[in-house]
Amino acid sequence: PWRERAATLFRAAAILRRRRTELAALEVFEAGKPLAEADADVCEAIDYCEYYGRQALRLSEGAPVRQRPGETNLYRYQPRGVGAVIAPWNFPLAIPAGMVSASLVAGNCVVFKPAEQTPGIAFRLVEILLEAGVPPGALAFLPGMGDVGAHLVRHPAVAFVVFTGSKAVGLSIIADAAVQRPGQRHVKRVVAEMGGKNAIVVDSDSDLDQAVPAIVASAFAYAGQKCSAASRVIGVGPVFDVLVERLAGAAAVVPVGHPRELRTVVGPLIDEDAYRRVRDYCALARTEGEVVLQRDDVPAGGWYVGPTVVVTDRPRSRIATEEIFGPFLTVMRADDFDEALALANDTEYALTGGLFSRSPARIRRAAGELRAGNVYVNRAITGALVGCQPFGGYGLSGVGSKAGGPDYLLQLVEPRVVTENTIRQGFAPPDESVDE
């Protein structure tokens, strides 16, 4: 079955590839995702299916264990059971494709609850998986509001929960899953990714021609609606003033528009609630810092918020500590590299982080000391590739799992050891005939 399930994922990847343009277009109109980002989302979904299919083939052999004379020891993986997959809206195809395909290829049954904002693209994913050969009884599609997900988490038949979303919801899932309910015969495993307040340190010797475009892309692409997006920038010493000036200048010309337009980088926010939340932070910024850029040249008739750049000297302010999930960048000054690392690490989250520097010694320090599950040096901090940069954080960003990594499937299976005494003394298997 492992090989059959892997083959199913490979077929699903082929179907996704064939329908790439259609699926990207649906994301544009359902999620408001700019076309280039929507296309990348489809490609990532393909990568997940192919990667987890290959990982399943690796796990199908079990794991090597020591043998003893007169015994055979087998270490094998078995499915956990029924899993609840609760998906986000910001990567409405790639993230659920990864969570659902990984759960299925491990041999589990899945109840898939998509984000209420993006059920259309989620339904297309289910169609594709069924077309690829997933048995209908192995995958259930259950769209609905948040209370649907809460019910799944509490259900005694659910053995594991895979979730991507906010810190508040993620922590409530972990708490609910810890309660044993009548009829429940397992400890529920929770795989949760819960966002971040991601920082980029710009060292005093960094190349701003390299740093500024990468920061702007990390902060404002898809209107900052990525858990990996840059939310804070820390400039070290003399680079700070020039850095602020150049960031404001670059953010001032980032294309804002309808997501179907090829040039668009900043599209609309997902819904009215997101719009009001980000606008509230923009208003708060005037009391917690100095607003150096707040663009109002945005299209009418949608949930558009222009890029905003704010300088603050209050590292514990709300704009510097709370996840905003919009095109909003907070910039802070550090007198030296030690202070910069301390500011970057002064957060409850630990998802992504970055450094721009020409110093090998400081690069080594950041690699070892920057508190983030994914650390990027001299490049953007978004755009993790499946199998290349397994993605996920710790702290209050998640449970330390790595989507698109070699150990992800291990969270969705249970290891089992079978030991047989092979020194047979007068024993014959029932299927062997014995002469009377």
Active site positions, annotated: 193, 227
Cα distances (Å, whole numbers) of residue 142 to 8, 16, 48, 111, 239: 22, 21, 22, 7, 51
CB contact set of 131 (below 8 Å; sequence gap of 6+): 12, 15
Give the residue among 75, 78, 79, 98 at the shortest CA–CA distance from 88. 98
The maximal CA–CA distance of the chain, rounded, in angstroms, is 97
Q: Judging by beta carbons within 10 Å of its beta carbon (0-12, 13-18, 19+), is residue 308 exposed, middle or buried?
A: buried
Question: Cα 424 to chain center, whole Å?
Answer: 52
Q: Could you tell me whether strands 71-79 and 109-113 are parallel, antiparallel, or unpaired per DSSP bridges?
A: unpaired
What three-state secondary structure class fits 131?
helix
What three-state secondary structure class fits 277?
helix
The tokens of 17 are what? 């590839």
Amino acid code (one letter) for 376 = Y
Helix (H) or strand (E) holding 328: strand 328-334
